A and B are shown apart, each in its own frame.
Chain A
Amino acid sequence: MSARMRAVVLALLAVAAVATTAGAAIASTPPDAGGDLVLAQGGETVRGVLRDGEGEPVPDVAISVATPDGEVVGETATDADGAWEVGLPAPGDYVVTLDAETLPEGVDLRDADRNPLEVTVRSAQNRTLIFALGEGAGGSRFLNSFLAQAVSGLRFGLIIAITAIGLSLIFGTTGLVNFAHGELVALGAIIAFFFNAPASVGGFGLTLILAGLIATVLSAAAGGAIELGLWRPLRKRRTGLIQMLVISIGLALLLRNALQVWFGGGSRPYYDYTIQQSLVFGPIRITPRDLIVMALATIVLVGVATMLQRTRIGKAMRAVSDNRDLAESSGIDVQRVILIIWVIGGGLAGFGGVLAGVVENVSYLMGFRLLLLMFAGVILGGLGTAYGAMFGSIVVGLITELSTLWFSTELKYVWALGVLILILLVRPQGLLGRAERIG
């Protein structure tokens, strides 16, 4: 195995170790102290049992013990049961090294930083050490962590989808690329925070469910107010789309920092549903809170889709989004439809903000962090379509979380944004969009 491959596998196993606590418990089962080994009794020893990811013993692995100055005090190899023990000359600090070269094919240290181990041995102590081993990729551990990441990716994608519908429909009906959409998300989350917070923090102490409902309604009102107070007058004055785009950036800066003055710069959780016991469904572990977030998000998305598909106003929205002039000439009140889209879009953004706040924390920056991912989802699915926004956002959520299986968590947004650029390169109308000239 090349060093590069090994690094990848190790990184993967490190993620797996975090993701699947159950699996890790098996692999690092401490060997039962004492027992069959007849070795230096009375004095100090270090010892342990090496088992691979399946719990099978690993024989013939070289282990050496040295003082911190590098003077070797003992060497051994694991026996057929994977057990090893090294007698020590005196209590004190020792460095125990496992020779990774002697590990059999397909077995690696799960955490390369934990080799060598530095230990302190007290007088007459038989100190048990654990070298956690795992096997190469392809084992059930990978599947487990894959499922865990897929669930959190789906959860994230559903939240992005809820917030992105408004963004996509606003673009479809008015051509506006609304950089201030993320601020509606943060607004919803922060309103809910203050309705949820106890009176001592300056809130109303409502349950989160009620607070979330109020926040959704108020965000919807804010969306409508922004349309009536800013965008409609600007459209009347025939302001160019590029100018409106820049104005939306100004609006985003204004709102975001107003929110910071109001909420403060830190990030805080809601007061309800913070600590919960996970439910276990086979290999998947999920808290009831996350399950409800995902269920609510799915219900809302299905509701929006039904509304768009079945109701008069939904059909009018799709018609205006499809071809504004044609819709107008067939008697649809376009200005009214746009207002309703802003109200619905604002409400959905606020609702998504509450869900995001439940899953993670509330901060004034959360909307801006989501914004580029919303754009990625919307463009991936096809700008201007509601279904495309849903589909694309879920894909973006999955890409974001699944990438952590192979790559650094710090880079997880990079893959989503990379997909955004890639899709513009090969299929600019998006996966579900109809081909039209955009260049």
Chain B
Amino acid sequence: MDVDFTRVLVDGLRTGLGPVAAVYALAAIGLNVHYGYTGLLNFGQVGFMLVGAYGMGIAVSIHSLPLWLGIILGMLAAVALALLLGFPTLRLRADYLAICTIAAAEILRFVFRSSPMAEVTGGAFGIPSQVGGSGFSSGFYRLNPIPEGAYGIGPVMFSHTRLWMMLVAWLLVALAVVLVWALMRSPWGRVIKSIREDEDAARALGKNVFAYKMQSLVLGGVLGGVAGIVLVMNQGAMTPDQFLPQLTFFAYTVLLLGGAATVVGPVLGSILFWFILQAMDSLLRQTGFGSAALGAVRLAFVGLILILLMAFRPQGLLGNKQEMMLDA
């Protein structure tokens, strides 16, 4: 059995640098604000991705609004979800918050895929690429300034449309990283971190803990919403059933791999995570492993990474163990 290791490496690199890795980096940066810095155990990040994507998709594809307005509406939808979710749940202990947020994300998915909502959301079929002329992503690709052709180094090549997608996605990741870096060294960030360490102490110092938590939830949620928009922009279509709870679990794995409560941890984590996952896929495929079970093996592997990371290195690659001694 011949295994072409260059191909394994190339496949891994293409995905590790691709738009999907950027999407998960964005979602994980959002989770980092929630979990890493504020200690909020948000297990409904996929809900923010869903409302972001649908906010944009419904506005652009169904109501024919311009793309920039759609993106703003998608982000506003994420803000609205954060406020709606935050008011009842932010006062709860971490484990209750986890159950509540995962339930809320599932409620959203069930509602968006239901047939009574089909007129608004497209139901179980979602918003296919051809709705509203040529779909919501055509406006985005029209802006592509890169001349047609393929670009890359050696065997790692990308088409001009994919390169444009990657460029924008990673630019957004860079912006998010700078934003989080700046915020976390500001007085606001210090209060946020003090809430994670000891909520009562922060309250005793006269800080409005609830308001700070809410701001953190909104900020991380909007980052999740942007991740959702980039995700569907890359696909050119969206369905409700792609927003499964395991997306959130993936984002957590990405965050914990890179290191929670670090600025570049989520980015490193995402690149590494997708590199490993795709390289493993490629390796298994070349060794003739049944492709039907491949998806399941991949997910089981993610589960294993999550267990081992949390048990043996909860601070991830870059983190500081002292910062990750959270308790319920």
Whether chains A and B associate is yes
Interface assignment of A411: CB less than 8 Å from any CB of chain B: yes
B contact residues around A244 at 8 Å (CB): 310
- B 62-101 binary contact with A (CB < 8 Å = 1; else 0): 0000000000000000000000000011011111101110
Interface assignment of A375: CB less than 8 Å from any CB of chain B: yes
Contact call A250/B305, Cβ cutoff below 8 A: yes
> Which of A234, A239, A260, A421 interacts with B88 by CB under 8 Å?
A421
Knowing A239-B311, A410-B113, A439-B92, the reply to whether A177 touches B327 (Cβ < 8 A) is no
Chain A residues touching B, range: 35 or more
Contact call A246/B293, Cβ cutoff below 8 A: no
Complex CA distance for A261 and B284, rounded to whole angstroms: 15
Closest residue of chain A to B101 (Cβ to Cβ) is A421
Contact call A428/B96, Cβ cutoff below 8 A: yes
Main secondary structure of the interface of B (DSSP, over half): helix
Interface assignment of A1: CB less than 8 Å from any CB of chain B: no
Complex CA distance for A146 and B91, rounded to whole angstroms: 37
Interface assignment of B171: CB less than 8 Å from any CB of chain A: no
- A 223-247 binary contact with B (CB < 8 Å = 1; else 0): 0000000000010010111111111
> Which of B91, B110, B310 interacts with A413 by CB under 8 Å?
B110
Interface assignment of A98: CB less than 8 Å from any CB of chain B: no
Count B-side interface residues using an 8 Å CB cutoff.
Answer: 48
> Which of A251, A410, A411, A420 interacts with B100 by CB under 8 Å?
A420
> Which of B89, B110, B249 interacts with A410 by CB under 8 Å?
B110
Contact call B300/A261, Cβ cutoff below 8 A: yes
Closest residue of chain B to A411 (Cβ to Cβ) is B114
Interface assignment of A294: CB less than 8 Å from any CB of chain B: no
Complex CA distance for A379 and B99, rounded to whole angstroms: 10
Contact call B116/A439, Cβ cutoff below 8 A: no
Contact call A439/B93, Cβ cutoff below 8 A: yes
Complex CA distance for A408 and B118, rounded to whole angstroms: 12
Interface assignment of B204: CB less than 8 Å from any CB of chain A: no
CB-contacts of B297-322 with A (<8 A): 297, 299-300, 302-307, 310-311, 314
Interface assignment of B106: CB less than 8 Å from any CB of chain A: yes
Interface assignment of B104: CB less than 8 Å from any CB of chain A: yes
**Sample of 10 more A-B contacts, CB < 8 Å, known A240-B326, A411-B111:** A175-B95, A177-B95, A245-B328, A250-B303, A253-B300, A257-B297, A408-B115, A411-B116, A414-B110, A420-B100
Interface residues of A (CB under 8 A from B): 175, 177, 234, 237, 239-247, 249-258, 260-261, 265, 372, 375-376, 379, 383, 407-408, 410-411, 413-414, 417-418, 420-421, 424-425, 428, 438-439
